[in-house]
């Protein structure tokens, strides 16, 4: 996946983006999927005042770089994850074009997606609070710091959770 993902990308692109590109190419070439949805993530909601809500420039361009071989099979709608109606409408408009549905249908889907994402974030925070308050199973845990694309990808993080489990530690993601 990594070797395939690095082909055609600038050398300064980071490992997680090369892995993502490799997954897209694997799905298209080996699994013969009809199309892959790889949104262009432009902005994220601020979880804290000090957070930067913008994604890295290479991450913003990854969908277009990954689609270079076959742009008709990689769907790359521009996406802003935000609570405000303006950015949601812009995102819905792009998704409506991409999937050939009405803007109303796309807007309802985007609003539902934002609501489900918020529910997930609340549940995840609550689970973290519960673990920290009640104690972790086995009595020992480690809060692991990092970006989601490294924390949750076993290849990128060299199976960190498995190694911690072998030491009797529960890996608790920082988020």
Q: pLDDT tens per residue, the chain (175 residues)?
A: 778 888 888 888 888 888 888 889 899 988 999 999 999 887 776 655 555 566 778 888 888 888 877 888 999 998 887 777 788 888 999 999 999 999 999 999 998 988 998 899 899 889 888 888 888 777 888 888 888 777 888 888 889 999 999 999 988 888 7
- Count Cβ neighbours within 10 Å for each residue of 131-150 and write b for 16 or more, e otherwise: eeeeeeeeeebeebeeeebb
- Stated pTM of the model: 0.74
Q: What span, in angstroms and rounded, lies between the C-alpha atoms of 5 and 170?
A: 31
User: pLDDT value at position 109?
Assistant: 93
Determine the pLDDT at residue 54. 67
Q: How many Å separate Cα 1 from the centre of its chain? A: 17
What torsion do the CA atoms of 67, 72, 73, 78 make, to the nearest 10 degrees? 60
- Give the model's pLDDT for residue 46: 61
What are the tokens at 168? Answer: 């009797």
| Angle at alpha carbon of residue 134, lines to 132 and 138, rounded to 5° | 90
pLDDT number for residue 36: 93
pLDDT of the residue at 50: 57
pLDDT for position 116: 92
Q: What pLDDT score does 151 carry?
A: 83
């Amino acid at each position: 996946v990594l070797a395939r993902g690095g082909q055609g990308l600038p050398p300064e692109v980071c490992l997680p983006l090369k892995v993502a590109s490799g997954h897209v190419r694997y799905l298209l070439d080996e699994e013969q999927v009809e199309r892959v949805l790889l949104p262009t993530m432009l902005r994220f909601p601020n979880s804290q005042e000090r957070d930067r809500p913008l994604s890295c420039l290479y991450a913003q361009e990854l969908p277009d770089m990954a689609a270079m071989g076959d742009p008709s099979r990689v769907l790359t709608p521009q996406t802003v994850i935000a609570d405000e109606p303006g950015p949601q409408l812009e995102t819905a408009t792009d998704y409506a074009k991409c999937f050939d549905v009405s803007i109303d249908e796309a807007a309802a889907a985007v609003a539902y997606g934002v609501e489900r994402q918020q529910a997930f974030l609340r549940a995840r925070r609550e689970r973290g609070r519960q673990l920290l308050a009640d104690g972790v199973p086995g009595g020992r845990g480690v809060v692991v710091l990092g970006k989601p694309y490294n924390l949750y990808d076993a290849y990128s993080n060299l199976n960190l959770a498995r190694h911690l489990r072998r030491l009797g530690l529960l890996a608790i993601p920082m988020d």
